[in-house]
Amino acid sequence: MDKDSYRNLLPLVNNKAAMLLLQEYATSRILYMHGLLEITKDQSRILEIQGAIAELRRFDTLKDEVKERAK
């Protein structure tokens, strides 16, 4: 992403209520994905789910990342 894209995200990450909702969503999806990991037997699908969880965890650091890269 370029600097302008990060600047466009500043209103989202600076809105406490919006960020809390986004983090709640990510947490909910991570719990769902953990459930999938428990029942999935296909190795490639397990890797996909692990990647999805890693991306969802990035919401925890989104605010810091956006503020740093928008400078």
- Counted domains in the chain: 1
**Residue 15: predicted pLDDT:** 97
**Is residue 54, in this structure, part of any structural domain at all?**
yes
Summarised one tens digit per residue, pLDDT across range 2-20 is 999 999 999 999 999 999 9
The pair of three-digit structure tokens given for residue 16, joined into one six-digit string: 């406490």
Residue type (1 letter), 37: L
| Residue 50 lies in domain | 3-64
Summarised one tens digit per residue, pLDDT across range 25-59 is 999 999 999 999 999 999 999 999 999 999 999 99
**Is residue 71, in this structure, part of any structural domain at all?**
no
**Is residue 70, in this structure, part of any structural domain at all?**
no
pTM: 0.85
**Is residue 8, in this structure, part of any structural domain at all?**
yes
User: Dihedral (C-alpha) 9, 13, 14, 19: value to the nearest 10 degrees?
Assistant: 140
**Is residue 69, in this structure, part of any structural domain at all?**
no
**Residue 7: predicted pLDDT:** 95
**Is residue 58, in this structure, part of any structural domain at all?**
yes
